Amino acid sequence: MREVNKIIIHCSATVEGVNVSTATIKSWHVKGRGWSDIGYHFIIGLDGAIDYGRPISRQGAHTKGENADSIGICYIGGLSEKKRAKDTRTEAQKKALIKILKTLTHIYPNATIHSHFEYANKSCPCFNAGSEYADLQPKGYVYEKKKKKND
């Protein structure tokens, strides 16, 4: 089994209320970027459905420099109707995120939860995952906002 130390949360950077399929995101990554597969391991639709992306046995392509030991989860949304960064998660998406995070932290008890913006100069996922899910972090882990690599 691949060593996983981090779970990194992303948004699709799409307008709130517009559902985007996993197949569409895969096309963006494969046809648009030339990758071998979709970059995320899990995608959460507006209705809270958790879809499989890249197998967790394979390294993702979701956070530059952090993929070797992480799992990437993407929720659909992240932009307001005016295309500004916004936490657009539906209640169903919030419940699904908790469900998948509880499962993954059970499988990988030392994995810490992070926002993509901790590793890139982006707003993604438009909320602070590390502090929001502090109760799911490993015992003794204290969340500290990391400086972005570009700071």
Query: Of the listed 26, 62, 114, 122, which one is catalytic?
Result: 122
The percent of residues above 70 in pLDDT, for the chain, comes to: 92
Cα distances (Å, whole numbers) of residue 96 to 16, 64, 134:
17, 25, 16
pLDDT at 133: 94
- pLDDT value at position 121? 93
Classify burial at 41, counting beta carbons within 10 Å of its beta carbon; exposed 0-12, middle 13-18, buried 19 or more. Answer: buried
Q: Which of 40, 75, 119, 133 is catalytic?
A: 40
Contacts of 137 (CB under 8 A, 6+ apart): 105, 112, 113, 130, 143
Asked whether the predicted pLDDT for residue 148 surpasses 70, the reply is: no
| Catalytic residue status for 122 | yes
Determine whether 116 is an active site residue.
Answer: yes
Contact 46, 20 (CB under 8 A): no
What is the value of pTM for the model shown?
A: 0.92
Fold adopted by 6-136 = Lysozyme-like (3.40.80)
Is residue 124 part of the annotated active site? The answer reads: yes
Please report, for residues 40, 44, 75, 121, the alpha-carbon distance to residue 50 in angstroms, rounded to integers and kept in the order given: 12, 5, 9, 27
Per-residue confidence band for 137, with pLDDT thresholds at 50, 70 and 90: confident
Residue 139 pLDDT level (bands cut at 50, 70, 90): confident
